[in-house]
Structure 1
Amino acid sequence: MTHRFQCRVYYEDTDLAGIVYYANYLKFIERARSEWVRGIGVDQNRLKADHGVVFAVRRVEAEYLSPARFDDLVEVETEVAEVTPARLVLDQRVMRGETVLFTARVTIVALGETGRPTRLPAEFRQLPATP
Protein backbone atom coordinates (compact mmCIF):
# COMPACT_ATOMS: atom_id res chain seq x y z
CA MET A 1 0.00 0.00 0.00
CA THR A 2 1.45 3.35 -1.05
CA HIS A 3 0.48 6.48 0.86
CA ARG A 4 0.62 9.74 -1.09
CA PHE A 5 1.00 13.25 0.32
CA GLN A 6 1.17 16.39 -1.79
CA CYS A 7 2.91 19.60 -0.82
CA ARG A 8 3.85 22.83 -2.53
CA VAL A 9 7.42 24.14 -2.52
CA TYR A 10 7.37 27.58 -0.93
CA TYR A 11 9.99 30.32 -1.17
CA GLU A 12 11.09 29.51 2.40
CA ASP A 13 11.96 25.96 1.27
CA THR A 14 14.52 27.14 -1.29
CA ASP A 15 18.14 28.31 -1.21
CA LEU A 16 19.77 31.18 -3.08
CA ALA A 17 19.73 29.16 -6.30
CA GLY A 18 15.93 28.81 -6.07
CA ILE A 19 16.02 25.07 -5.48
CA VAL A 20 14.84 23.17 -2.42
CA TYR A 21 17.44 23.31 0.33
CA TYR A 22 18.60 19.74 0.95
CA ALA A 23 17.42 19.52 4.59
CA ASN A 24 13.88 20.51 3.64
CA TYR A 25 13.33 17.18 1.89
CA LEU A 26 13.50 15.67 5.39
CA LYS A 27 10.68 18.02 6.45
CA PHE A 28 8.59 16.95 3.46
CA ILE A 29 8.99 13.25 4.23
CA GLU A 30 8.32 13.87 7.96
CA ARG A 31 5.01 15.55 7.12
CA ALA A 32 4.13 12.65 4.86
CA ARG A 33 4.92 10.11 7.61
CA SER A 34 2.75 12.04 10.07
CA GLU A 35 -0.16 11.99 7.63
CA TRP A 36 0.45 8.30 6.92
CA VAL A 37 0.28 7.48 10.66
CA ARG A 38 -2.94 9.51 10.95
CA GLY A 39 -4.28 7.73 7.88
CA ILE A 40 -3.82 4.28 9.41
CA GLY A 41 -5.83 5.43 12.42
CA VAL A 42 -3.11 6.09 14.99
CA ASP A 43 -3.45 9.21 17.15
CA GLN A 44 0.11 9.98 18.25
CA ASN A 45 -1.05 12.29 21.04
CA ARG A 46 -3.28 9.54 22.45
CA LEU A 47 -0.49 6.97 22.09
CA LYS A 48 1.80 9.17 24.17
CA ALA A 49 -0.84 10.05 26.75
CA ASP A 50 -2.19 6.49 27.20
CA HIS A 51 0.95 4.41 26.73
CA GLY A 52 3.91 6.81 27.00
CA VAL A 53 5.07 5.78 23.52
CA VAL A 54 6.57 8.17 20.98
CA PHE A 55 8.37 7.58 17.69
CA ALA A 56 11.92 8.55 16.79
CA VAL A 57 13.90 8.38 13.59
CA ARG A 58 16.88 6.11 14.15
CA ARG A 59 18.37 6.17 10.67
CA VAL A 60 17.90 7.91 7.32
CA GLU A 61 19.57 6.90 4.08
CA ALA A 62 18.89 9.60 1.51
CA GLU A 63 19.62 10.15 -2.16
CA TYR A 64 19.19 13.49 -3.92
CA LEU A 65 18.47 12.84 -7.58
CA SER A 66 17.02 16.01 -9.10
CA PRO A 67 16.11 19.43 -7.66
CA ALA A 68 12.64 20.65 -6.80
CA ARG A 69 12.10 24.37 -7.34
CA PHE A 70 9.98 27.16 -5.96
CA ASP A 71 6.23 26.64 -6.58
CA ASP A 72 6.61 23.00 -7.65
CA LEU A 73 3.85 20.69 -6.50
CA VAL A 74 5.57 17.56 -5.22
CA GLU A 75 4.16 14.30 -3.95
CA VAL A 76 5.71 12.15 -1.24
CA GLU A 77 5.11 8.42 -1.58
CA THR A 78 5.51 6.29 1.54
CA GLU A 79 5.67 2.47 1.62
CA VAL A 80 6.39 0.02 4.41
CA ALA A 81 9.61 -1.85 3.59
CA GLU A 82 10.14 -3.86 6.78
CA VAL A 83 8.43 -4.41 10.12
CA THR A 84 9.96 -6.04 13.18
CA PRO A 85 8.66 -5.94 16.77
CA ALA A 86 10.97 -3.01 17.52
CA ARG A 87 11.56 -1.29 14.19
CA LEU A 88 9.67 0.05 11.20
CA VAL A 89 11.49 0.75 7.94
CA LEU A 90 9.82 2.98 5.37
CA ASP A 91 10.78 3.79 1.80
CA GLN A 92 9.87 7.33 0.79
CA ARG A 93 10.11 9.13 -2.53
CA VAL A 94 9.58 12.79 -3.39
CA MET A 95 8.18 13.05 -6.91
CA ARG A 96 7.37 15.86 -9.33
CA GLY A 97 5.03 14.20 -11.74
CA GLU A 98 6.80 11.02 -12.84
CA THR A 99 10.26 12.35 -11.94
CA VAL A 100 11.83 11.00 -8.75
CA LEU A 101 13.61 13.88 -7.02
CA PHE A 102 14.62 12.34 -3.70
CA THR A 103 14.51 8.91 -2.07
CA ALA A 104 14.97 7.91 1.53
CA ARG A 105 14.90 4.74 3.60
CA VAL A 106 13.85 5.74 7.11
CA THR A 107 14.09 3.53 10.19
CA ILE A 108 11.63 4.40 12.95
CA VAL A 109 11.70 3.08 16.53
CA ALA A 110 9.32 3.45 19.44
CA LEU A 111 10.50 4.96 22.70
CA GLY A 112 8.86 4.49 26.08
CA GLU A 113 8.45 7.00 28.90
CA THR A 114 12.09 6.55 29.99
CA GLY A 115 13.35 7.32 26.50
CA ARG A 116 14.47 3.72 26.01
CA PRO A 117 13.43 1.64 23.01
CA THR A 118 10.21 -0.33 23.37
CA ARG A 119 8.09 -2.58 21.17
CA LEU A 120 6.17 -0.95 18.38
CA PRO A 121 2.43 -0.68 19.00
CA ALA A 122 0.40 -3.56 17.56
CA GLU A 123 -1.02 -1.34 14.78
CA PHE A 124 2.49 -1.09 13.34
CA ARG A 125 3.72 -4.64 13.99
CA GLN A 126 0.79 -5.93 11.90
CA LEU A 127 1.49 -3.77 8.84
CA PRO A 128 2.33 -5.67 5.65
CA ALA A 129 5.66 -4.82 4.06
CA THR A 130 5.87 -4.29 0.32
CA PRO A 131 7.78 -7.02 -1.51
Structure 2
Amino acid sequence: MHEFGLRVYYEDTDLAGIVYYANYLRFIERARTEWVRGQGIDQSRLKEDEGLVFAVRRVEADYLAPAKFDDELIVRTSVEHMTGARIVLSQDVVRGADMLFSAQVTLVALTSAGQPARLPAIIRRIVH
Protein backbone atom coordinates (compact mmCIF):
# COMPACT_ATOMS: atom_id res chain seq x y z
CA MET A 1 0.00 0.00 0.00
CA HIS A 2 1.21 3.47 -0.88
CA GLU A 3 0.44 6.49 1.31
CA PHE A 4 0.42 10.10 0.15
CA GLY A 5 -0.08 12.93 2.62
CA LEU A 6 -1.64 16.30 1.91
CA ARG A 7 -3.18 19.26 3.69
CA VAL A 8 -6.51 20.86 2.78
CA TYR A 9 -6.05 24.45 1.67
CA TYR A 10 -8.70 27.15 1.56
CA GLU A 11 -8.82 26.86 -2.24
CA ASP A 12 -9.91 23.21 -1.85
CA THR A 13 -13.08 24.15 0.02
CA ASP A 14 -16.53 25.37 -0.96
CA LEU A 15 -18.72 28.06 0.60
CA ALA A 16 -19.59 25.71 3.46
CA GLY A 17 -15.90 25.36 4.34
CA ILE A 18 -15.68 21.70 3.37
CA VAL A 19 -13.67 20.12 0.58
CA TYR A 20 -15.47 20.54 -2.73
CA TYR A 21 -16.43 17.07 -3.96
CA ALA A 22 -14.45 17.21 -7.23
CA ASN A 23 -11.23 17.99 -5.38
CA TYR A 24 -11.12 14.45 -4.01
CA LEU A 25 -10.47 13.38 -7.62
CA ARG A 26 -7.50 15.76 -7.70
CA PHE A 27 -6.22 14.35 -4.42
CA ILE A 28 -6.36 10.75 -5.62
CA GLU A 29 -4.79 11.76 -8.98
CA ARG A 30 -1.80 13.24 -7.17
CA ALA A 31 -1.51 10.10 -5.06
CA ARG A 32 -1.68 7.86 -8.16
CA THR A 33 1.07 9.89 -9.82
CA GLU A 34 3.30 9.40 -6.78
CA TRP A 35 2.33 5.72 -6.56
CA VAL A 36 3.38 5.18 -10.20
CA ARG A 37 6.62 7.08 -9.60
CA GLY A 38 7.23 5.00 -6.47
CA GLN A 39 6.87 1.83 -8.56
CA GLY A 40 9.84 3.05 -10.63
CA ILE A 41 7.73 3.86 -13.68
CA ASP A 42 8.74 7.01 -15.53
CA GLN A 43 5.55 8.10 -17.29
CA SER A 44 7.37 10.63 -19.50
CA ARG A 45 9.79 7.95 -20.68
CA LEU A 46 6.93 5.47 -21.20
CA LYS A 47 5.24 8.00 -23.48
CA GLU A 48 8.46 8.89 -25.26
CA ASP A 49 9.84 5.35 -25.71
CA GLU A 50 6.69 3.23 -26.00
CA GLY A 51 4.12 5.80 -27.11
CA LEU A 52 1.91 4.77 -24.16
CA VAL A 53 0.10 6.75 -21.50
CA PHE A 54 -2.12 5.78 -18.59
CA ALA A 55 -5.71 6.95 -18.63
CA VAL A 56 -8.54 6.66 -16.15
CA ARG A 57 -11.26 4.45 -17.65
CA ARG A 58 -13.61 4.37 -14.69
CA VAL A 59 -14.02 5.83 -11.20
CA GLU A 60 -16.52 4.59 -8.67
CA ALA A 61 -16.53 6.92 -5.67
CA ASP A 62 -18.17 7.10 -2.25
CA TYR A 63 -18.18 10.32 -0.25
CA LEU A 64 -18.40 9.25 3.39
CA ALA A 65 -17.57 12.29 5.54
CA PRO A 66 -16.38 15.86 4.89
CA ALA A 67 -12.82 17.10 5.07
CA LYS A 68 -12.34 20.71 6.12
CA PHE A 69 -9.84 23.51 5.77
CA ASP A 70 -6.42 22.71 7.28
CA ASP A 71 -7.14 18.99 7.74
CA GLU A 72 -4.19 16.67 7.22
CA LEU A 73 -5.24 13.81 4.96
CA ILE A 74 -3.68 10.58 3.77
CA VAL A 75 -4.52 8.98 0.43
CA ARG A 76 -3.95 5.22 0.53
CA THR A 77 -3.50 3.49 -2.83
CA SER A 78 -3.40 -0.26 -3.37
CA VAL A 79 -3.79 -2.61 -6.33
CA GLU A 80 -7.08 -4.50 -6.29
CA HIS A 81 -6.35 -6.53 -9.43
CA MET A 82 -4.69 -6.32 -12.81
CA THR A 83 -5.19 -7.84 -16.24
CA GLY A 84 -3.12 -7.52 -19.38
CA ALA A 85 -4.95 -4.33 -20.27
CA ARG A 86 -6.00 -2.66 -17.01
CA ILE A 87 -5.10 -1.95 -13.42
CA VAL A 88 -7.82 -1.55 -10.82
CA LEU A 89 -6.81 0.47 -7.77
CA SER A 90 -8.45 1.12 -4.44
CA GLN A 91 -7.90 4.67 -3.22
CA ASP A 92 -9.07 5.85 0.19
CA VAL A 93 -8.78 9.31 1.74
CA VAL A 94 -8.52 9.26 5.52
CA ARG A 95 -8.15 11.78 8.31
CA GLY A 96 -6.66 9.90 11.23
CA ALA A 97 -8.90 6.88 11.77
CA ASP A 98 -11.81 8.40 9.81
CA MET A 99 -12.47 7.27 6.24
CA LEU A 100 -13.69 10.29 4.27
CA PHE A 101 -13.69 9.11 0.67
CA SER A 102 -13.25 5.78 -1.07
CA ALA A 103 -12.80 5.11 -4.78
CA GLN A 104 -12.11 2.25 -7.12
CA VAL A 105 -10.19 3.50 -10.14
CA THR A 106 -9.60 1.58 -13.36
CA LEU A 107 -6.52 2.57 -15.35
CA VAL A 108 -5.81 1.55 -18.92
CA ALA A 109 -2.95 2.10 -21.34
CA LEU A 110 -3.53 4.10 -24.50
CA THR A 111 -1.37 4.67 -27.55
CA SER A 112 -0.47 8.19 -28.64
CA ALA A 113 -3.39 7.90 -31.09
CA GLY A 114 -5.75 7.21 -28.18
CA GLN A 115 -6.24 3.53 -28.96
CA PRO A 116 -6.35 0.92 -26.17
CA ALA A 117 -3.13 -1.01 -25.66
CA ARG A 118 -1.91 -3.87 -23.51
CA LEU A 119 0.09 -2.95 -20.47
CA PRO A 120 3.78 -3.55 -21.18
CA ALA A 121 5.13 -6.72 -19.57
CA ILE A 122 7.61 -4.72 -17.50
CA ILE A 123 4.74 -2.73 -15.97
CA ARG A 124 2.76 -5.88 -15.22
CA ARG A 125 5.82 -7.34 -13.45
CA ILE A 126 6.52 -4.16 -11.45
CA VAL A 127 2.94 -3.56 -10.36
CA HIS A 128 1.87 -7.15 -9.73
Task: State TM-score, norm by structure 1.
Answer: 0.94
State the Cα distance separating 1:114 from its structure 2 match: 1.6
Name the count of aligned residue pairs: 127
Q: Would the aligned equivalents of 2:81 and 2:87 in 1 still touch at CA under 8 Å?
A: yes
1:59 aligns with 2:61: no
Partner AA of 1:117 in structure 2: P
1:1-131 → structure 2 map (5 Å cutoff): 2-126=1-125, 127-128=127-128
Separation in structure 2 between the aligned mates of residue 65 and residue 113 of structure 1, nearest angstrom? 37
State percent identity of aligned pairs. Answer: 65
Q: Would the aligned equivalents of 2:41 and 2:123 in 1 still touch at CA under 8 Å?
A: no
**Once superposed, what is the RMSD of the aligned Cα atoms?**
0.8
Q: Which runs of 5+ in 2 are unaligned?
A: none
Separation in structure 1 between the aligned mates of residue 72 and residue 122 of structure 2, nearest angstrom? 31
Residues 14-43 of structure 1 deviation map (CA, whole Å, 9 limit, x = unaligned): 000000000000000000000000001001
State the Cα distance separating 1:98 from its structure 2 match: 0.8
Partner AA of 2:25 in structure 1: L
